[in-house]
């Protein structure tokens, strides 16, 4: 999971995270999602592979999968009304950090990479200045990861248009749009048109219930006067976006891989007909 981090100590994620590595150390001193106060990565990870059949919270799609907490994005404050000091916190994902995390995942045995973000170009002060020009180091990293047998999945974007978003729009990536409760395209979801099929498929992305950082639930419970036992109860919330759709597909990719090629490492895995396993998994899903 390349994202803002995961609350790996929560009861729903405990034992799932095989490692926690940050690629944004120059921008954030924190490793865990709770400390950065974003919550995005924890929610995404819960959809992809949180504990299943434990009677708590929700069930992850990739039910027998492990999680790598590869922190690729950091919390960034935007001052909406400078005179009043009204801030909003968003996640920023530097293209250089994304590239480093993708290469790291490819070199360390991961079968599936989930990228629920659009990459950001930063200026010399570390402030986001927009989408990076293409191709770039992230493009090279994705090409390398694909060559190493990894399945790559990314969110297509939430702008209700056909404008390409990266990393999703790279040829080697399964770009995922979002559906609503009626199995139609969600009103916010980016999409593609005939002749430009860069969005691979759609998956559930509207009002998705998944995990959130436990400190948030502790705070809200105390504020509202409710009891909350983090050792026995899951911390949950609803979110919408192609960020939620992408981990549905990433979790499904892990399931397909485990079913078709159990125990086989990405770099050396080929089907009985000689086709690389990541190609087979991608074609099955699409």
Q: Is the pLDDT of residue 33 over 80?
A: no
- Which of 96, 240, 243, 246 is catalytic? The answer is 243
Q: So what's the pLDDT on residue 171? A: 97
pLDDT tens-digit profile of 73-124? 999 988 887 777 788 888 999 999 999 999 999 999 999 999 999 999 999 9
Rounded Cα distance between 223 and 220, Å, is 5
| pLDDT for 30 | 82
Please indicate whether residue 100 is annotated as part of the active site.
no
DSSP state of 270: B
pTM of the model: 0.95
pLDDT at 195: 87
Q: What percent of the chain has pLDDT over 90?
A: 88
Place of tokens 């919408």: 240
Residue 48 has pLDDT above 80, yes or no: yes
Task: Please name every residue paired with 204 in a beta bridge, in sequence order, or none if there are none.
Answer: 179
Strands of 47-150 (E only): list them: 67-71, 74-81, 86-92, 112-115, 121-122, 128-130
In the predicted model, is pLDDT for residue 60 greater than 80? yes
Mean pLDDT of the chain: 95
For the cut 70, the answer to whether the pLDDT of residue 198 exceeds it is yes
Mean pLDDT to the nearest integer, 163-192: 98
**202 close to 168: Cβ distance less than 8 angstroms:** no
40 assigned to active site: yes
Comparing 81-85, 179-183, 184-188, 219-223, the range with the smallest average pLDDT is 81-85
Token pair recorded at residue 272: 């009985």
Residue burial 236-261, b: 16+ Cβ < 10 Å; e: rest:
bbebbbbbbbbbbbbbbbbbbbbeeb
Q: What is the dihedral of CA 282, 105, 46, 43, to 10 degrees?
A: -110
pLDDT score of 86: 80
Task: Please determine, for residue 35, whether its predicted confidence score (pLDDT) is greater than 70.
Answer: no
Mean pLDDT over 216-232 rounds to 93
Q: For residue 19, which of 73, 54, 71 has the smallest C-alpha distance?
A: 71
Q: Is 140 marked active-site? A: no
The pLDDT tens digits of the residues spanning 233-246 come to 999 999 999 999 99
Largest CA distance in the chain: 65
pLDDT of 37 strictly over 70: no
Per-residue model confidence (pLDDT) at position 261: 98
Q: Taking residues 52-56, what's their average pLDDT?
A: 93
Whole-number Å distance between alpha carbons of 128 and 257: 36
Distance CA 74, CA 103 (A): 19
* Mean pLDDT of all residues in 139-152: 98
The tokens for 40 are 């995005």
pLDDT over 70, % of the chain: 99
Find the catalytic residue in 3, 32, 36, 100: 3
CA gap 20, 28 in Å, rounded:
14
- Tell me the average pLDDT across 181-204: 96
Chain length of the chain:
286
Catalytic-role residue among 40, 43, 51, 248:
40
Least confident of 19-28, 29-38, 224-233, 249-258: 29-38
């Amino acid at each position: 999971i390349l994202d803002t981090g995961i609350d790996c100590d929560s009861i729903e994620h405990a034992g799932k995270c095989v490692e926690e590595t940050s690629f944004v150390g120059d921008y954030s001193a924190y490793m865990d999602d709770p400390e950065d106060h974003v919550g995005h990565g924890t929610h995404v990870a819960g959809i992809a592979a949180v504990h299943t059949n434990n009677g708590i919270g929700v069930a992850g799609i990739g039910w027998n999968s492990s999680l790598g907490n590869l922190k690729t994005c950091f919390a960034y404050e935007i001052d909406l009304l400078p005179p009043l000091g009204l801030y909003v916190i968003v996640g920023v994902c530097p293209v250089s950090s994304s590239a480093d995390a993708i290469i790291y995942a490819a070199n360390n045995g991961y079968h599936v990479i989930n990228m629920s973000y659009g990459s950001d170009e930063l200026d010399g002060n570390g402030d986001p200045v927009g989408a990076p020009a293409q191709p770039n180091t992230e493009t090279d990293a994705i090409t390398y990861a694909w060559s190493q047998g990894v399945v790559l999945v990314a969110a297509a974007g939430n702008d209700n248009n056909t404008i390409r978003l990266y990393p999703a729009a790279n040829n080697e990536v399964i770009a995922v749009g979002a559906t609503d409760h009626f199995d139609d395209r969600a009103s916010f979801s980016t999409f593609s048109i005939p002749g430009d099929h860069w969005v691979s498929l759609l998956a559930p992305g509207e009002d998705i219930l998944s995990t959130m950082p436990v400190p948030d639930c502790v705070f809200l419970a105390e504020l509202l006067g409710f009891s909350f036992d983090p050792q026995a109860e899951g911390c949950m919330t609803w979110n919408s976006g192609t960020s939620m759709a992408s981990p549905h597909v990433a979790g499904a990719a892990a399931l397909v891989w485990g079913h078709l090629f159990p125990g086989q490492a990405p770099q050396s895995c080929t089907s009985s007909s000689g086709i690389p396993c990541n190609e087979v998994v991608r074609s099955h899903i699409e």
